[in-house]
């Protein structure tokens, strides 16, 4: 299968790329190489005959059309995004442009490509989103998000991802584009960018520094090992899910931030 992965030099995208190559797929990694990217993440597969890299920005529609035509993908896995909540609060503009306008460009490029190819039924556009579109959970573990939970984004990041989800759903309803939408919870694992909470807490703990916990730490989050679950779940979603499906990928193990930080400190010592 030919898979177009956007954001394949980032934390999760690179795991998807490594897994897809290991499974024998042809992969084109489309990434603008922003501050969050690291080509070292895909160094282990970069010489593979089935791997190709395209440095391109999803805000550049012409580049997307060229890449679709050149690589003829069977599956698009759209992970490219501005993904750091704190940065979205400091400067929301990039989040609007990449997460909303960029996803719009991806949908339009995919729609053009799919329609011109005669609407192949096996084609899928998998949009990787976040459970943060559902807002905050009350005290654990009584309530969990489901696919029916109302959208209630609380940050510019989650609002921009929610907007992109709505576009994806609309393109499925309006144009029949075969989409799969997953709203995954927090991931941690190898190649995690050091500004994210898990590496920050571990690195600070190792250095004997204070741990940055928001408020009183009672916000509830679900944590999942990206290495063991994300690529597998992505692959499962694309193989099994009918188009138009929305899937919550993992909402278990909800723990308050303070509790998780305490465990991390214990493991770090
Ligand atoms: N990390 C998590 O815990 C988590 C949880 C749920 C959902 N997600 C979603 O998964 C996806 C990947 O998350 P991540 O943590 O790997 O992100 P990341 O920030 O590590 O990587 C994002 C990648 O996208 C690329 N990118 C950014 N803007 C781009 C643009 N305009 N054009 C092309 N490429 C661009 C970056 O260069 C980078 O390689 C995101 O869509 C995110 O919303 C992440």
Closest protein CA for atom 18 of ligand 1: 10
Q: Which carries the bigger pLDDT value, residue 241 or residue 85? A: 85
Q: What is the DSSP letter of 196?
A: S
98-157: pLDDT as tens digits: 999 999 999 999 999 999 999 999 999 999 999 899 988 776 566 778 888 899 999 999
pLDDT given at position 265 = 46
Tokens of 16: 């998807």
Host domain of residue 21: 2-190+224-253
Q: Is residue 147 part of a domain?
A: yes
Query: Cβ distance 184 to 128 under 8 Å?
Result: yes
Query: Cβ distance 51 to 21 under 8 Å?
Result: yes
9 lines ligand 1 (CB under 6 A): yes
Q: Which of 31, 173, 174 is nearest to 98 (CA)?
A: 31
Instruction: Calculate how far, in angstroms, residue 258's C-alpha sits from the geometric centre of ligand 1.
Output: 25
230 lines ligand 1 (CB under 6 A): no
Number of domains in the chain: 1
Q: Is residue 198 part of a domain?
A: no
Closest protein CA for atom 11 of ligand 1: 79
Tokens of 61: 């529609």
Percent of the chain with pLDDT strictly greater than 90 = 61
pLDDT given at position 231 = 56
Secondary structure (3-state) at 246: strand
DSSP string, 197-216: HHHHHHHHHHTTPPP---TT
188-209: pLDDT as tens digits: 888 888 888 888 888 888 889 8
Q: What is the CATH number of the domain that holds 122?
A: 3.40.50.720
Q: Is residue 136 part of a domain?
A: yes
pTM > 0.75: yes or no = yes
Q: Is residue 153 part of a domain?
A: yes
Query: Cβ distance 61 to 104 under 8 Å?
Result: no
Q: Is residue 29 part of a domain?
A: yes
| Cα angle 48-235-190, degrees, rounded to a multiple of 5 | 65
Q: Which carries the bigger pLDDT value, residue 239 or residue 170? A: 170
Atom of ligand 1 nearest to the CA of 34: 37
32 lines ligand 1 (CB under 6 A): yes
Q: Which carries the bigger pLDDT value, residue 249 or residue 68? A: 68
Strand pairing report for 186-188 and 220-225:
parallel
Distance CA 131, CA 182 (A): 9
Atom of ligand 1 nearest to the CA of 102: 31
pLDDT band for 229, please (50, 70, 90 cuts).
low
pLDDT given at position 6 = 98
pLDDT band for 213, please (50, 70, 90 cuts).
confident
Least confident interval from 14-18, 20-24, 234-238: 234-238
Q: Is residue 268 part of a domain?
A: no
Tokens of 215: 């408020």
158 lines ligand 1 (CB under 6 A): no
pLDDT band for 215, please (50, 70, 90 cuts).
confident
């Amino acid at each position: 299968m030919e898979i177009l992965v956007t954001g394949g030099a980032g934390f999760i995208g690179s795991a998807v790329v490594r897994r897809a190559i290991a499974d024998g797929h042809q992969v084109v990694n489309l990434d603008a190489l922003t501050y969050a990217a690291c080509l070292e993440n895909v160094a282990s597969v970069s010489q593979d005959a089935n791997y190709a890299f395209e440095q391109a920005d999803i805000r550049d529609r012409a580049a997307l059309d060229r890449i679709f035509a050149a690589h003829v993908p069977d599956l698009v896995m759209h992970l490219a995004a501005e993904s750091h909540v704190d940065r979205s609060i400091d400067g929301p503009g990039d989040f609007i442009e990449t997460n909303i306008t960029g996803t719009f460009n991806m949908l339009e490029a995919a729609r053009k490509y799919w329609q011109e190819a005669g609407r192949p039924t096996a084609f899928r556009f998998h949009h990787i989103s976040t459970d943060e579109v559902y807002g905050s959970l009350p005290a654990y573990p009584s309530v969990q998000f489901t696919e029916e939970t109302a959208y209630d984004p609380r940050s510019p990041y989650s609002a921009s991802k929610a907007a992109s989800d709505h576009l994806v759903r609309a393109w499925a309803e309006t144009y029949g584009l075969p989409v799969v939408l997953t709203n995954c919870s927090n991931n941690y694992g190898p190649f995690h960018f050091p500004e994210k909470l898990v590496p920050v807490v571990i690195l600070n703990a190792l250095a004997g520094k204070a741990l940055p916990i928001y408020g009183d730490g009672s916000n509830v989050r679900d944590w999942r090992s990206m290495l063991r679950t994300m690529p597998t779940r992505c692959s499962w979603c694309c193989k099994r899910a009918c188009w138009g499906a929305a899937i919550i990928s993992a909402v278990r193990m909800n723990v308050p931030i303070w509790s998780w930080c305490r465990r991390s400190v214990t493991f770090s010592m």
